[in-house]
Structure 1
Amino acid sequence: MKKERKIKKYNNLSIGWIRITNHGYAFVHINGFQKDVFIPKNKTNRALEGDLVEIKFYMKKGIKMEGEVLKIIKRKTNKFIGILKIHNNYGIVYNTNIHVNILVPIQKLEKCHHNDKVLVQIESWPKKFKNPFGKIVKVFGSYGEYKTEISSLLEEYEISYKFSKKMENEAKVIFSKKVMDIRLRRDMRKVKTFTIDPLNAKDFDDALSIRKLSYDTWEIGVHISDVSHYIKEGSLLDQEAYSRATSIYFVGEVIPMLPKILSNNLCSLQPKKDKLSFSYIFNINRKGKILKNWFGKTIIRSDRKFTYDEVQSIIDKKKGDYYEDIYTLFLLSKILIQNRLKNGALFLERVEVKFHLDKKNNPISLYLEKNNDAHRLIEEFMLLTNQKISEFVSLNLDGGTSKKLYIYRIHDKPDFQKIFLIKKIIEPLGYFLDTKNLKTSINHLLKQIKGKPEQNMIENLILRSMSKAKYSTRNIGHYGLSFIYYTHFTSPIRRYSDIIAHRLLYYYLTKDKNKNEEYKLKTIEFYEKQSHHCSCKERLAIDVEREFLKYMQVKYIRQFVGEEFYGIITGFTNWSVYIDLLLFQTEGMVRLNDIKEDSYVLNSNDYSIIGKKKRKIYHLGDKVKVKLMDANIEKNQIILDWIDDV
């Protein structure tokens, strides 16, 4: 345990990053101290959230450290996104990222309108003024509009939206050449092949082929778009794809990793067209035993594109196009699922919030989409492919480790403190978690809560207790899937990690056959850096997609202001209760002070509140009735009023 630094009574100087609350007071963390230094509201000296500051501090009453900001060493940023409100002779940009609003003189507001969402840059902050002064750098449009919210989010997260002319031209050159190196590929064009995707999908990464070999044996092909054939390492498009690292899927809009002429056309495995693919082809019997594996480059011709709903209908009705083949794949996928679960995999299937949109991309109805058999069919064959490819690279023929360099998708064990917290939270709801047989117990719990009001809340708790899956060259296995070796290979149109996996696999397949092959293996540090970059960009994409989904939920739910709904308590703070509205799977907030039946305070254990007079306790997972009071797009907030428990 590190020793804490000794401090003088007065005039200790140090440097640290400042965190400023919405109320204006702040905290600065200093290395060597367990507790942060408290900075009163009037001592922040024009610092903003995340700035690097120099402070003077002292011990107050021998308990807490208090200080003041002497100077700002480095601003985190001087540009902020907010909503412009125009008054008589000035504008104010209101934003939620910093504790002060920014003033803009009226003469600097040309081409700006009241309620525009804008990017403002701070130009000055005179000592005698409470607010900084700035200028408008970019206008996104009226706040709350679909295009405005997308473009402002992309700006905030520093995500590229359009491709430069140079990149578009490079993509057009690639498209016009359409090099078909058929000679070096296994020709699968005469084998029955199809794609299964969402209704509005255009970037078809994967296709399945099936051929019956005998009464109980089939040849299955999992064909993945051969993106790395077209995107050469180090090219302009490769650099841009690496920079983006992933496509981003908003409600009604996709920000692709590759230009659409490639992602939706040349690389997309469209029906009735010859397409280049990188394939895993295997023989399998009716018991799900894999008899033979083959990995390599192919040329395919998809016979038909199916939607998930069409395939589900064929499975349910046991008739339709390609019924026998689809039903065979479905039965085999069920065996693969059972094998994974027997091996210790977690079976966590999430419900996704989806919207129907009008022509202007306004949400007109909300529906909850669950995984069906068609989704699981595709998922199982993709999981199998990712597993078998990483095993092929990582293991020798005798089963020993090959020590070859590869990019893995790894998932560490969960945080056991969080697991114990879940155990405490669910016990008042009548559920149990056996920490000695955790995976089996979690799967049993997931079965128990299926269809119950508290299902979403408990599933979220389980997800938050899990480590984040990431990319690495250092394999530790995948805890959730219970795979020793696992990679991402099956979505190269939308994930750069998969392009890396393709390049490395092709290198290992051809290095002994073709000494003049253009691809050269890099250092482990090179691929580890790329892996880390892909992981970071993935987290960023998840955050921005989640934030935009919340905006759509708030926008949709506005029409129901004044109506009453049932919800489940999902969280507490010192001043509020968070409630998941069951009908919408959308979280809203009730302020503790607004609960009229009693004065409630947070229990010391942090997962219940208790009334001061009646001593009534509400736990996480309790069902309550609330009234929708406000859906605030400016703050992306849903405000509720507490009616009563159920």
Structure 2
Amino acid sequence: MSKKDKSSRGKKHDSDLAKGVLEITRSGVGYVVTDSEGGDIFVRPNDFNTALNGDTVRVKVVRENLNNGKREGRVTEVVSRKQSEFIGHIQVSSNFAFFIPDSDKPMPDLYIPLDKLNGAKDKDRVLAKITKWDTTNKKPEGEIVQVLLAEQESDIAMKGILVENGFPLVFEDDVMEEALRLPDVISASEIKKRKDMRDVLTFTIDPVDARDFDDAISIKKLKIDLYEIGVHIADVSHYVTPGSILDDDAYQRATSVYLPDRVNPMLPERISNELCSLRPKEDKLTFSAVFQINLKGNVKDFWLGRTVIHSDHRYTYEDVQEIIEKKEGLYSEEVLLLNDLAQGFRAARFSDGAINFSSTEVRFKLDEKGKPIGIVVKESKEAHQLIEEFMLLANKTVAQYVSKVKVNKKEVPFPYRIHDVPDEQKLTPFIAFAAKYGHKFDTSTPEKIASSFNQMLEDVKGKPEQHVLESLGIRTMAKAVYSADNIGHYGLAFEHYCHFTSPIRRYPDVMVHRVLESCLEGAPVFDKKMEEKCKHCSEMERSAMDCERAGNKYKQVEFLKEHIGEEFLGVISGVSGFGFWVETVEHKCEGLVSITGLSDYDDFRLIESEYSLVGRRSGRKFRMGDKVYIKVVSANLAKRQLDFDWVLKPEVDEKLNEETVVKPVPTRTRSKAKGSEKKKRKIE
């Protein structure tokens, strides 16, 4: 069954119906979270009307308390399902079978016809899919998609993360069939419609393990001081057309999901890894932004349109970094020129007010079974920045172009990538905290705030407070989203910005290509549902990020499970009334030091304004950003949780942090804390 509930199509909706997302508590009752006034709507289990946790529904208010304004309703329609696939166990009898989901959210078992078991036997762990469920049936009907083997614990966990967040694990047969029918030969008539750039030097730069290459760079010298530089993007919209089965499925997924050991793609591999991937020595269809740029980095002219290219070479980031550092290698002159221009663009962005936050990413070294055997911290080097800056230039240019297109003085609906100014409620306490380290903020304008951030980030480099101020600073920032209402991108300091450069893995980029093409043809498309589509894509992006965080956390726990009892140096990454979180310096793995375990040393209390726990007797402080030693005491894969003990090392504690550490005096022989309180962070 597709995510769209087919039974709901074509119905008229009463004006008093509210639309929202159903959230079911562990106790079994539900609340529909809406954007309308009046707050959430309480729904009893008998009134879910086949809706499950996370589904978008329409709800009718049936009762309202005039005293407190609380409303009660019943679900009248499932607009779209967040999740149609589930992991659980199968119970098979002689005449029928039932699937029991492993969900902590109440939901009915699935009735499985015996001819839909797909080889599953009684008590097998399986992946199942809902195929039919209407109001006349109390039990939904489903089929088994896959039998999950016990030895594939990590694989099952990754699949569970995906399905819990609404991402199907496989493509439906009709989607695959439509993808297979696409021609793999580019016709001469199609090439004639496009700008032919196959004779221009072109190459790709991607991670070493990349399989889909959705962007390429070309370079051609026009004059002594003028170059033609093309940013070429896989022309997914040529193959994935509006209203097709492929398009409907891609829209529902909205994004690829990148987990430590796999990619859950937005598009079938036939498209992502074959037809659209800009592989070397092959003619490929692209959508391009071609710039004329002088050696000072000034863009003198640009052209947007469909092209055909032929990539001459495939680089990894490591290949290009070596050329940059050694000043030699294949096409080194062109690579070095592109790098110089990129660094110029980068410097200009920060000068214009872009905020220079840096984030740390990790990559897991996996064995042949997907088990982590090492963790590598990924660095952003000049090779990465080269691609980043030219992609930013293309994204900005496309958004600027479309923003100027008007029809009857109306702007064309377009999926801008927007980023709001910092949240004042988060910014105010952060500024007060930064002031304790001597950093002043000018809050008179958003531009002055950005300038203050950049000055602070420059000043703290190499200092003990660098980690805490960078971490807390990032948390003051709004989340970037897609919207037809353009308010600009604060973090990048761009007035107009969009995502144009990754249509293989992001659906908004496909929408951008379609709107851009309509504008170039002089017949702009006015999509009345643009904002709704932007909201959906933003929601799926957040779900993908939740998947990626959960996947990384699982692998961290799996890795440190082999290091129980070992001690590591870490940095305090969060503080709460029930303990503090520590991220190991070597592995970037985060775990909780429970206040229960600290009680043997002192009675600690939370000082929120200082992001610290302070001992009442000793004055010992555990502050965000402080370095501490920890011992790994527990690694729970099911809950994706790590528990640490703080390790007292008086001889080195004073050297770890700038301020003198007051050494705690144990009040009694310390015993190992049993477990830890599983609560949300106070500071996050």
Q: Distance in 1 between matches of 2:454 and 2:644?
A: 33
Q: Does 1:632 align with 2:636?
A: yes
Q: Distance in 2 between matches of 1:204 and 1:569?
A: 38
Structure 2 vs 1, CA of residues 56 and 289 (structure 1 numbering), >3 Å: closer, same or farther?
closer
- Determine which of 268, 274, 280 is the counterpart of 1:271: 280
Structure 2 vs 1, CA of residues 54 and 367 (structure 1 numbering), >3 Å: closer, same or farther?
farther
Contact kept? 2:592, 2:643, Cα under 8 Å:
yes
Q: Distance in 2 between matches of 1:337 and 1:605?
A: 35
Structure 2 vs 1, CA of residues 54 and 628 (structure 1 numbering), >3 Å: closer, same or farther?
farther
Q: Distance in 1 between matches of 2:41 and 2:286?
A: 55
Q: Distance in 2 between matches of 1:342 and 1:268?
A: 35
Alignment-derived partner of residue 286 in structure 1:
295
* Letter of the 1:561 counterpart: I
Q: Does 1:597 align with 2:597?
A: no
Alignment-derived partner of residue 420 in structure 2:
412
Measured after TM superposition, the shift of residue 143 of structure 1 is 8.0
Alignment-derived partner of residue 476 in structure 1:
487
Structure 2 vs 1, CA of residues 56 and 119 (structure 1 numbering), >3 Å: closer, same or farther?
farther
Structure 2 vs 1, CA of residues 96 and 594 (structure 1 numbering), >3 Å: closer, same or farther?
farther
Q: Does 1:571 align with 2:557?
A: no
Contact kept? 2:83, 2:167, Cα under 8 Å:
no
Alignment-derived partner of residue 132 in structure 1:
none
Q: Distance in 1 between matches of 2:323 and 2:383?
A: 9
> What are structure 2's unaligned runs of at least 5 residues?
1-20, 43-51, 92-99, 110-119, 131-141, 654-684
Structure 2 vs 1, CA of residues 97 and 431 (structure 1 numbering), >3 Å: closer, same or farther?
farther
Q: CA RMSD in A?
A: 4.3
Structure 2 vs 1, CA of residues 452 and 505 (structure 1 numbering), >3 Å: closer, same or farther?
same
Contact kept? 1:187, 1:300, Cα under 8 Å:
yes
Contact kept? 2:568, 2:629, Cα under 8 Å:
yes
Measured after TM superposition, the shift of residue 630 of structure 1 is 1.2
Deviation track 1:282-315 (CA, whole Å, cap 9, x = no partner) reads 1111111111111111111000010000000000
Contact kept? 1:117, 1:142, Cα under 8 Å:
no
* Letter of the 2:415 counterpart: I
Alignment-derived partner of residue 8 in structure 2:
none
Q: Does 1:200 align with 2:209?
A: yes
Q: Does 1:142 align with 2:150?
A: yes
Q: What are the residue-to-residue correspondences of 1:337-486 with 2, within 5 Å?
A: 337-395=346-404, 403-427=411-435, 433-436=441-444, 437-450=448-461, 455-486=466-497
TM-score of the two chains, using structure 2 as the length reference: 0.75
Alignment-derived partner of residue 619 in structure 1:
623
Q: Distance in 1 between matches of 2:169 and 2:609?
A: 45
Q: Distance in 1 between matches of 2:547 and 2:341?
A: 36
Measured after TM superposition, the shift of residue 20 of structure 1 is 6.1
Measured after TM superposition, the shift of residue 119 of structure 1 is 8.0
TM-score of the two chains, using structure 1 as the length reference: 0.79
Structure 2 vs 1, CA of residues 171 and 376 (structure 1 numbering), >3 Å: closer, same or farther?
same
Q: Distance in 1 between matches of 2:616 and 2:592?
A: 21
Q: Distance in 1 between matches of 2:373 and 2:200?
A: 42
Alignment-derived partner of residue 123 in structure 2:
112
Deviation track 1:296-339 (CA, whole Å, cap 9, x = no partner) reads 11111000010000000000000000000000000000111111
Measured after TM superposition, the shift of residue 447 of structure 1 is 2.8
Structure 2 vs 1, CA of residues 82 and 319 (structure 1 numbering), >3 Å: closer, same or farther?
same
Q: Distance in 2 between matches of 1:78 and 1:506?
A: 33
Alignment-derived partner of residue 195 in structure 2:
186
Measured after TM superposition, the shift of residue 227 of structure 1 is 0.9
Measured after TM superposition, the shift of residue 54 of structure 1 is 11
Contact kept? 2:28, 2:106, Cα under 8 Å:
no
Q: Residue 158 of structure 2 aligns to a residue in which SS? A: helix
Q: What are the residue-to-residue correspondences of 1:7-406 with 2, within 5 Å?
A: 97=104, 111-112=122-123, 140-142=148-150, 145-176=153-184, 178-179=186-187, 181-395=190-404, 403-406=411-414
Contact kept? 2:257, 2:265, Cα under 8 Å:
yes
Q: Does 1:583 align with 2:594?
A: no
Structure 2 vs 1, CA of residues 622 and 209 (structure 1 numbering), >3 Å: closer, same or farther?
same
Contact kept? 1:600, 1:611, Cα under 8 Å:
yes
**Identical pairs, percent:** 38
Does 575-584 or 432-441 show the bigger shift?
432-441
Alignment-derived partner of residue 18 in structure 2:
none
Q: Residue 491 of structure 1 aligns to a residue in which SS? A: coil
Q: Distance in 2 between matches of 1:403 and 1:440?
A: 32
Alignment-derived partner of residue 6 in structure 2:
none
Q: Residue 277 of structure 2 aligns to a residue in which SS? A: coil
Contact kept? 1:175, 1:262, Cα under 8 Å:
no
How many residues of Structure 1 are paired with residues of Structure 2 in the alignment?
Answer: 580
Deviation track 1:184-225 (CA, whole Å, cap 9, x = no partner) reads 111111110000000011111111110111221111111111
* Letter of the 1:505 counterpart: L
